């Protein structure tokens, strides 16, 4: 079984992007961590990053048609703006888990609304890279 791990805008800069908020691990570090974890769970990871909203929508559809077991998505700032990602999550049968490194609900008020969260099965936020790890454990239990 494959789990899609989708990452949105600016997450390609992890490691150097506001490390006091997002930590020093790069997206490649997180991918390596998740692949090792997935192997122990008998799962495969398909991890991707895009700065483009429509590409993320396309990948959610792709996960659906590929029969993915789950989608973990850190939608970055699109979390707080994108009804298209919300609708995509509602349009597919694959369960969606929302992931954030930081805890958006304890930051600026413009981060308090999450459109993807309203369509997600669960949210893991505020644990740095471990948010992904926790979400993968939850997805594995489905």
Q: Which residues participate in catalysis according to the annotation?
A: 22, 100
87 annotated to a ligand binding site: yes
Q: Which residues contact 14 (CB under 8 A, 6 or more apart)?
A: 22, 23, 25, 26, 27, 30, 101
Q: Tell me 88's DSSP state.
A: H
Is 107 annotated in a binding site? The answer is no
48 in a labelled binding site? no
29 is in an annotated binding site: no
CB burial of residue 42 (10 Å; 0-12, 13-18, 19+): exposed
What is the distance in angstroms between the CA of the first residue and the CA of the last residue of the chain?
11
Query: Smallest gap, in angstroms, from Cβ of residue 66 to ligand DQA?
Result: 24
Find the shortest distance in angstroms from Cβ 65 to ligand DQA.
Answer: 26
Q: Which is nearer to ligand DQA, 79 or 82 (CB)?
A: 79
DSSP conformation letters of 53-81: HHHHHHHHHHHHHTT-SEEEEE-GGGGGT
- The site for ligand DQA (CB under 6 A) is made up of 10, 74, 76-77, 79, 100-102, 104, 111
Name the minimum Å distance from CB 100 to ligand DQA.
Answer: 4
Taking the mean position of all CA atoms in its chain, how far away is CA 115?
13
In the complex with ligand DQA, the residue whose CB is nearer, 10 or 25, is 10
Query: Of 1 and 55, which CB lies nearer to ligand DQA in the complex structure?
Result: 55
- Binding residues for substrate are 74, 80, 87, 101-102, 111
- Binding residues are 74, 80, 87, 101-102, 111
């Amino acid at each position: 079984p494959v789990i899609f791990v989708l990452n949105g805008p600016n997450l390609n800069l992890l490691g150097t992007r506001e490390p006091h908020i997002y930590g020093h691990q790069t997206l490649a570090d997180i991918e390596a961590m998740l692949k090792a974890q997935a192997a122990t769970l008998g799962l495969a990871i398909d991890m991707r990053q895009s700065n483009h909203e429509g590409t993320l929508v396309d990948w959610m559809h792709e996960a659906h048609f590929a029969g993915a077991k789950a989608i973990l998505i850190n939608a970055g700032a699109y979390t707080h703006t994108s009804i298209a990602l919300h609708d995509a999550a509602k349009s597919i049968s694959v369960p969606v888990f929302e992931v954030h490194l930081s805890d958006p609900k304890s930051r600026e008020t413009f981060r308090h609304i999450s459109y993807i969260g309203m369509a997600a099965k669960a949210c893991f936020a505020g644990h740095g890279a471990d948010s992904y790890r926790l979400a993968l454990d939850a997805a594995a239990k489905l």
